């Protein structure tokens, strides 16, 4: 019955080759699922190894479930790849002969190639990020460099830097760049909340309007039209702000054992590189001095600080601090504002209260009490924990920013 089904499937493919869609996207998604499953199993095992103990029953069952799903996904990938290959083979026209040949051996099997996968082109022919990293490592060896053709063929330029290791490195394929960017600009990322500008240069000059919406003289002005009224002319009040772009580079030391395993290296790089880059970006956007990196909010000319209360104990945060910070935030900006805190001040928020009509009222506790949902907002705005914020009691331990 199995062979009968296969024969029927081949006939259908021959009659309707266009009816079988290119399943490359689904295969890529399944391969990404394999990487995620492998990383999940590694995380469970590493947790036990870090505590120098055997796996618990629950952990062992979880790994068994992951491995079982891994095999299922592998089979699904193999099946889809075979269907793709059959579709490609049967869609190719027969080679015509100038003379008829009825010999049983005259008809030779046709060679075929995997269908073109647009997403694979975004990886420049590399299976995963680990495969690309291994090619770069081999091509960058000082003693015996072995340049992978995929690095050269897909180089965006033949002049300087990109495409030649000695000139500064190899360009990361677009698919891998997008994956890193997606992780770095996640839900809790500060970078994802900044204004995004696209440029083809590493230097930008931006116009900057120093006027306020309520300013009545100078710059852009608005007037109500009325009978016999004349608008007063004013000069534009713009300044120029020069910005030089700086690169953020991540150096990843790896072992010889990891270099021998492209899948393991892929999981390691996809986990560690965005994690390190995310913190470095957070630290620059908060504490950066503008030298070779962005100018952070704590170094900005727009910084407004709120002094502690007269009777407030040192290294504490009280409800009055929060109210005054909120009142100093420009009203229209509040809808996009977020709180950034160091985890050191969470105990202060959990126990914060204000005086109600008859008793103290918790200021940060959800309606359901400690059993309710996590403490995610303050004054209705998201609270983001970041180790780039300063420790409790120092300037920058809690920041309201937009």
- pLDDT for position 153: 65
Confidence of residue 24 (pLDDT cuts 50, 70, 90): low
Q: What is the mean pLDDT of residues 198-225?
A: 78
Of 113-127, 187-201, 220-234, 345-359, minimum mean pLDDT range: 113-127
Q: Which residue has the higher pLDDT, 58 or 218?
A: 58
Please determine, for residue 114, whether its predicted confidence score (pLDDT) is greater than 50: no
At 95 the pLDDT is: 44
Of the ranges 23-37, 164-178, 388-402, the best mean pLDDT one:
388-402
Average pLDDT in the 36-63 region?
A: 85
CB distance 223 to 231 below 8 Å: yes
- Higher-scoring residue by pLDDT: 209, 11: 209
| pTM recorded for the entire structure | 0.57
The C-alpha atoms of residue 250 and residue 273 are separated, in whole angstroms, by 7
Closest CA to 340 of 281, 382, 395, 283: 382
Closest by Cα among 328, 317, 293, 344 to 402: 328
Using the predicted structure, report yes or no on whether residue 318 has a pLDDT greater than 60.
yes
Interhelix angle for 2-15 vs 57-91, to 10°?
A: 50
User: What pLDDT is recorded for position 390?
Assistant: 93
Rounded alpha-carbon distances, angstroms, from residue 232 to 150, 205, 239:
64, 30, 22
Query: Is the model's pLDDT at 12 over the cut of 50?
Result: no
Instruction: Give the mean pLDDT of 174-189.
Output: 73
Residue 87 predicted with pLDDT over 50: yes
């Amino acid at each position: 019955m199995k062979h009968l089904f296969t024969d029927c499937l081949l006939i259908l493919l021959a009659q309707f080759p266009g009816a079988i869609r290119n399943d490359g996207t689904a295969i890529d998604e399944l391969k990404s699922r394999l990487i995620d499953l492998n990383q999940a199993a590694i995380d469970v095992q590493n947790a036990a190894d870090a505590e120098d103990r055997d796996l618990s029953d629950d952990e062992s069952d979880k790994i068994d479930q992951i491995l079982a799903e891994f095999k299922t996904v592998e089979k699904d990938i193999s099946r889809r790849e075979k269907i793709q290959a059959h579709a490609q083979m049967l869609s190719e026209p027969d080679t015509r002969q100038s003379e008829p040949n009825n010999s049983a051996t005259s008809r030779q099997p046709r060679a075929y190639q995997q269908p073109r996968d647009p997403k694979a082109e975004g990886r420049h022919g590399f299976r995963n990020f680990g495969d690309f990293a291994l090619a770069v490592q081999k091509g960058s060896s000082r003693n015996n460099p072995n340049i992978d053709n995929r690095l050269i063929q897909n180089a965006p330029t033949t002049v300087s830097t990109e495409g030649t290791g000695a000139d500064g490195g190899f360009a990361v394929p677009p698919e891998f760049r997008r994956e890193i960017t997606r992780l770095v600009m996640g839900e809790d990322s500060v970078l994802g909340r900044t204004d995004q500008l696209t440029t083809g240069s590493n230097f930008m000059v931006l116009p900057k309007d120093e006027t306020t919406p309520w300013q009545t003289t100078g710059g852009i002005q608005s007037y109500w039209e009325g009978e016999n009224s004349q608008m007063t002319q004013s000069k534009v009040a713009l300044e120029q702000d020069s910005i030089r772009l700086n690169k953020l580079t991540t150096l990843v030391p790896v072992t010889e054992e990891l270099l021998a395993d492209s899948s393991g290296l892929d999981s390691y790089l996809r986990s560690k590189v965005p994690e390190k880059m995310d913190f470095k970006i957070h630290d620059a956007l908060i504490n950066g001095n503008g030298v070779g990196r962005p100018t952070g909010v704590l170094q900005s000319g727009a910084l407004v600080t709120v002094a502690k209360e007269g009777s407030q104990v040192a290294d504490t945060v009280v409800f009055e601090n929060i109210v005054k910070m909120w009142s100093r935030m420009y009203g229209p900006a509040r809808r996009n504002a977020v709180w950034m805190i160091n985890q050191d001040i969470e105990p202060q928020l959990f126990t914060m209260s204000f005086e109600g009509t008859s008793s103290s009222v918790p200021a940060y506790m959800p309606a359901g009490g400690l059993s309710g949902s996590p403490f995610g907002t303050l004054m209705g705005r998201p609270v983001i924990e970041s180790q780039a914020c300063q420790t409790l009691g120092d300037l920058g331990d809690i920041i309201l920013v937009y």
